[in-house]
Amino acid sequence: MTSPLSGPPVRQLLLLGLLCTGGLLSSCSNSRQPPISLLRVARILPTNEKVTPADSSRDRKRLQSFQNNLRDVVPGLHIQPALYSEAAVESELRRQTYSGLGPDVVMGDARIIQELSEEKLLDPVPITPEQRTAIAPGLLQRVTNSRGEVTGLPVSQYIQLACYDKRKLKDPPTTLTLMAKASGQGQVFGIAQNFEDLYWSMSGFQAGNALVSSLRGEQPTAQQTQQLVRWLSWLRDASYQQNVLFLRDQATLRKQLIRGQLNWISCWSSQLPQLREALKDNLGVTSLPAGALGPATPISKLQVWALGRNSSARQRHTAEELMQFIVQPWAQKTWSLRYRTNYPVNPAAATIINRQIPGIENLYLFKAKQELRIGDEIVAAIDSNPRLAKAIQHIVNDVIFGSKTPVKAAERLQTVLSPSS
């Protein structure tokens, strides 16, 4: 007589049980858990600094929060983060990509993303009509290469600000003239000498018009050239002031403000977490001082998401799904308000942010649209041409260190920016 446990149906049930136990048949589960969508994310530190354990920990917590809040959008999303410095990211991504283990998404500044794209370490990003509608005009130009490919999706912007120690500086200067006066009274100011960090001061002299004319292959007018010389003269004169220090990078400025060696610095909103952590309620944040011909019009550092080259079809689909969502007004507003370090690329979200953060209208409202367009055009040219960026920086350094006169520097800038050069 055949045992009730020995027939073929029983053996089939046992085999089915083993398959379910091993997780080989997703239909065996009644939990209806969504499949895990794993994305390897490489993020590039906003400043050219070495990655510290504190940086990595802060970044992991932020991405964990981001992952948790996206579960309704992408069920089962799991982010595997890695943080790199600007100096190390190219060699590290090349090693990973050539071994087939490169990241699915790369997050970084537009300039760095352009460079990685030129090195064939990223795939172009397919932009949908909905994404084009959601992103402010002009920002996509900053991530479009000479072949017309979009190298990364604009997601947020870091904004130029003035950061100061309230214990030492009660009334931050609202104009460059007041800054000079305060420096003469012993207040110590720090300014980054990188060209992109100095644009806010250029706009106060309307000096960008001469540069844009040169970029377009046009001869700057006498008035435009005079405004450019006037800005370069301010750079030279400010560098001669005892208590105005032009320093190499933002990291040095931040550290010296924290140590009490500087009372005021030009800064980026990306630095606010470290400054808040160190100075707490003593940190003051305000707009940058106006120049002789108008208010400071800060440019932004465009933060973009790019696509790695080793993704599976499923990982690529998940990445593109996230990119479709992240530029919509709700997502843009939510993350800007939550972290208060970045500004939206979506104009509808920007309007909400301007209303909801007290005092932010003095920092972020697009009041001088013409100056912003000029700044975007200049930055787009620099982001897409690292050699041009280096040439401009050399000229600016020569003026700050006194080895080139403002007049000669203006002539040289117009030459290197000309398309025929």
Structure tokens at 250: 């933002």
Long-range contacts, 393-398 (Cβ 8 Å, 24+): 393/194, 393/195, 396/193, 396/195, 396/198, 396/235, 397/193
Q: How many CB atoms lie within 10 A of CB 265?
A: 25
Find the helix packing angle between 110-118 and 369-383, rounded to 10°: 30
Grouping H, G, I as helix, E, B as strand and the rest as coil, residue 262 is coil
Structure tokens at 283: 């940190």
Q: From CA 324, how far away is CA 328, in angstroms rounded?
A: 8
Q: From CA 61, how far away is CA 217, in angstroms rounded?
A: 47
Is 20 within 8 Å of 30 (Cβ atoms)?
A: no
Q: From CA 260, how far away is CA 169, in angstroms rounded?
A: 11
Q: 55-80 burial string, b = 16+ CB within 10 Å, else e?
A: beeebeebbeebbeebeeebeebebe
Q: How many CB atoms lie within 10 A of CB 381?
A: 20
| Bridge-based pairing state of the strands 77-84 and 105-109 | unpaired
Structure tokens at 316: 């690529």
* Model pLDDT, residue 5: 37
Domains of the chain: 37-157+301-356 (3.40.190.10), 158-299+369-417 (3.40.190.10)
Q: From CA 138, how far away is CA 133, in angstroms rounded?
A: 12
DSSP 105: E
Phi, psi of 100 (to 5 degrees): 85, 10
With the C-alpha atoms ordered 204, 251, 336, 381, is the resulting torsion angle positive or negative?
positive
pTM of the model as a whole:
0.75
Grouping H, G, I as helix, E, B as strand and the rest as coil, residue 420 is coil
* Model pLDDT, residue 366: 43
Please give the average pLDDT of every successive group of 10 residues along the chain, which has 421 residues: 38 34 36 74 82 79 76 80 91 96 95 92 95 87 87 91 94 95 96 90 91 94 96 96 92 94 93 90 92 84 94 94 92 84 86 64 48 76 82 95 96 92 72
Is 248 within 8 Å of 265 (Cβ atoms)?
A: no
